[in-house]
Structure 1
Amino acid sequence: MSKKVTETVEELVSPILEDMSLELVEVEYVKEGKSWFLRVFIDKEGGVDIEDCGQVSEKLSEKLDEVDPIPQNYFLEVSSPGAERPLKKDQDYEKAIGKNVYIKTYEPISGEKEFEGILTGFDGNEVTLEITIKTRKKTVSIPFEKVAKARLAVTFS
């Protein structure tokens, strides 16, 4: 059910975002407590502001009322993915090269399932990170199909 909803919402929101030169990061349809939430995360170069979110929310809300793909009541939220934006598509990984990222894998690689470091490479099959252990730098290659979650990671220096 929720996969069908998210796919339908992606189809509905894509032309709206294209017209506004915005990028779809992710659509999420989840139940929290007794309430359902439809969350649409958008972005653009330099980040989105409250006006971008408001305009997308208004236009998407009209489309959702027309098509009515969701039978139960829900809350629509349109927002930025934030500083720790998820990496979903190949282009997200390519844009993140040179940045600090956090990656969690489905199974251990060299005994570890969580990695944080500088993304140094991505070729569609493998993600390469430079991690620092104490004072030593080490390169780790992670097969892309083993990546469970990936996101930008904020560092405080």
Structure 2
Amino acid sequence: MNMKVHVPNWILSRSREQCCSLWRVLILMVISCYISSCAPQTKVGTPVFREEPQGQVVAPPDQTAILLTSADTAMQSGQLDKAEMHLERALRLSPRDAQIWHGMARVRFEQSNYAQAVQFCLKSNSLAGKNEAIIRQNWLLMEKAYLKTGDTEKAIWARQKASEK
């Protein structure tokens, strides 16, 4: 029995290479539909919640401690730019570390940038939690910064806050 298959004219007008290309595209589409159907299904409109990591991501303490030590050494030798560089690297690793922010405040104070020194002290205090030693150091540094700018009222206030700690 001889059976004829009807082939549309638009297919007959194509070259053999074009037909092969069309078949390849068709096969790839079928495969991609099959693969996508294997993916886990979620209902449309249903929000997908991902659990947030608990707490902060903390850098290895050794690396942060090394950077803090390097910054202190650089400050003691008067290399404020180098100290600032070490502290900025430490902040990228541990942005919520009150000690690093206090170090940045000290650098800004030594650079005569008293307003930013105060801001960094306040940031450090906001992250210090119950670390009274760092909070006290911040208030004392703020007192010095206020005195340098001639704001004696705020300097007295900062001194009082330091004595509370």
TM-score, normalised relative to structure 2: 0.22
Greater helix fraction, Structure 1 or Structure 2: 2
TM-score, normalised relative to structure 1: 0.23
Rg (Cα) greater in structure = 2
Higher RCO (C-alpha under 8 Å, 6+ residues apart): 1
